[in-house]
Structure 1
C-alpha cells in the first residue's frame, strides 16, 4: 500500500495528538514521530507549531472558514436562513472539535501569549469566523436580504457564540450529550436569529 504524503501524515499526527494530549503538551518531535518522519522534515512543511495548528484547523476540522468565504463572495444563493443553518451546523461541529485541542493552552499563560502573537502574525485566530460571518451578513444586507437596520456584527456574535457555548457546555466524549442533535440545533438557531434580522415589510 502506498504511503500517504509526508505533509498529510504530519497533519494527521498533529490532529490525533492534539485531540488526545492537547496542543500545549505536544512537541513537534512527538508529532514528527507520529507521522513517521524526522522533525527536520516537519519544518520543511510548517514553520512551527502555530502554522501547523492553523493548517489542522482549516484542513482537518469541519469546513467553517471555506463555507463563510464562499457565501461572502457570492451572496444571494439559497435563502439566508438556509445559509445560516449550514453555518451554525459547521460552526457547532468546528467548535466541538477545536475546543479540546486548544483548551490546554489556557493552562500555560506564557505559551498562550506566544501562540496568540503567532496567530496575529498569521492573520488567524478565533476572531476570523466572526469577521467572516459579519462580512457575509453585510453582503446579504447590501443585497436587500437582511434588514437594513440589523446589526450584522451582533447577529454574527450571537450565532457563533451559541455554537461555541454548545461545544463548551457539552462533551459527547465525556458522556455529556447536547439535548438536541446538531441539525435540530442549527436550524433552531438560524430560525431564531432570522426573527431579528429578516427584512421588515
Structure 2
C-alpha cells in the first residue's frame, strides 16, 4: 500500500487533532507524532501552527473562499438566487466543520490574540468570506441584479452570520439537530432576496 506524502499526512493529522482536542491543544509535537514524522519535518512544510490551521481550512474543508472569488470575478453562472444558495450551502458546511476546530481558541484570550496576529501576517482570517461575499454582491449590484440602494455588506453579514450560527445554535433544541443544509440555504436566501433583489422590489 502506497504511503501518503508527508505533507498530506501532516494535514490529515492536524485536521483530526484539531477536531478532537481543539486548536488550542493540538500542538505541533502531537500533530507530528500522529503524522508519523518529526516536528522538524513538520516545519519543513509549515512555518507555524497557524499556517497549518489555515491550510486545514483551505484544503480540507468546503471550498467557500474559491467559490466567492470565482463569483466576484464574474466566472460564476446561474441566477442570483442559485449563486447565493450555493454560497449559503457551502458556508453552512464550512462553519459546521470549522467551528469545532476554532472554538477552543475563545477560551484562551492570549492564545486567540497571538493566533489573530498570525492570521493577519498570513493574510488570512474569518473576515475574508465576508469581504468576498460583499464583493460578489457589489458585482451583482453593478450588473443590475441587486438593488442600487441595498447595503451589500449588511446583506453579506446576515447571510454568513446565519450560516455560522447554524454550527452551534441548534445543539440545545429538543431534537439537537441542525436544519438540513439544503433546505436551510434555500430558505435563508429567499428571505434575504426579499430585501436586496431588484426582482422583488415593490
Same fold (TM over 0.5): yes
For the pair 1:123 / 2:123, whether they are aligned, the reply is yes
Please report the TM-score for the alignment, with normalisation by the length of structure 1. Answer: 0.95
Partner of 2:168: helix, strand, or coil? helix
Structure 1 ranges of 4+ moved more than 6 A: none
Deviations 1:103-156 (A, max 9, x none): 111111111110010011111111110000000000111111111111100000
* Count of matched residue positions in the alignment of Structure 1 and Structure 2: 198
Q: Which residue of 1 aligns with 2:24?
A: 24
Q: Which residue of 2 aligns with 1:47?
A: 47
Partner of 2:162: helix, strand, or coil? helix
How many angstroms does 1:76 deviate by? 6.3
Partner of 2:3: helix, strand, or coil? coil
Please report the TM-score for the alignment, with normalisation by the length of structure 2. Answer: 0.94
How many angstroms does 1:30 deviate by? 0.5
Give, in whole Å, the separation in 2 of the partners of 1:69 and 1:44.
29
Q: Pairwise mapping of residues 159-198 of structure 1 onto structure 2 (< 5 A)? A: 159-171=159-171, 176-178=176-178, 180-198=179-197
Q: Which residue of 2 aligns with 1:9?
A: 9
Partner of 2:167: helix, strand, or coil? helix
- Please say if residues 70 and 76 of structure 2, whose CA atoms lie closer than 8 Å, have aligned partners that are also in contact: no
RMSD of aligned alpha carbons: 1.4
Give, in whole Å, the separation in 1 of the partners of 2:39 and 2:171.
33
Deviations 1:7-45 (A, max 9, x none): 111110000000000000111011011111111111011
Give, in whole Å, the separation in 2 of the partners of 1:88 and 1:171.
20
- Give unpaired runs (5+ residues) of structure 2: none
How many angstroms does 1:78 deviate by? 0.4
Give, in whole Å, the separation in 1 of the partners of 2:155 and 2:162.
11
Give, in whole Å, the separation in 2 of the partners of 1:170 and 1:112.
25
Q: Pairwise mapping of residues 40-189 of structure 1 onto structure 2 (< 5 A)? A: 40-74=40-74, 77-171=77-171, 176-178=176-178, 180-189=179-188
- Give unpaired runs (5+ residues) of structure 1: none
How many angstroms does 1:190 deviate by? 0.8
